[in-house]
């Protein structure tokens, strides 16, 4: 299960950061927190649409469905919340060492 989480994290790291800052925004829509909770529940749940015991096809639902759902959540955000979250996420990037 930890390998699955690591693969998903490497694919959707920036979108997760944006979602985190959007969840902390005071003008976020009411549906954002429950939708994010459902998405996290799906990622950590042992129940999948296609079982992981099927070698390649079992991972496809995780690799495709989770980033797609995350992207759709971010697209449905109001413009102001999305831009403020993007700005906040950019401010918190580690320094490049210049």
Tens of pLDDT, residues 32-68: 999 999 998 888 877 776 676 777 777 777 778 888 9
Q: Please, are residues 31 and 37 in contact by the beta-carbon 8 Å criterion?
A: no
Predicted confidence at residue 95, as pLDDT, reads 35
CA distance 78 to 57: 35
Domain limits, the chain:
2-91
Task: Please count the other Cβ atoms lying within 10 Å of the Cβ belonging to residue 81.
Answer: 20
Is 23 strand, coil or helix?
A: helix
Q: Please, are residues 19 and 74 in contact by the beta-carbon 8 Å criterion?
A: yes
- Which of 10-14, 35-39, 52-56, 86-90: highest mean pLDDT? 35-39
Is the backbone of residue 45 left (phi > 0), alpha (psi -120 to 50) or beta?
beta
């Amino acid at each position: 299960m930890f390998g699955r989480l690591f693969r998903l994290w490497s694919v959707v790291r920036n979108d997760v950061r944006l979602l985190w800052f959007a969840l902390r925004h005071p003008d976020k829509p009411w549906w954002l927190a429950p939708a994010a909770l459902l998405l996290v529940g799906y990622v950590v749940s042992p129940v999948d649409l296609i079982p992981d015991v099927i070698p390649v096809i079992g991972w496809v639902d995780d690799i495709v469905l989770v980033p797609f759902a995350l992207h759709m959540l971010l697209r449905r955000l109001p413009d102001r919340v999305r831009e403020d979250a993007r700005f906040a996420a950019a401010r918190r990037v580690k320094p490049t060492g210049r």
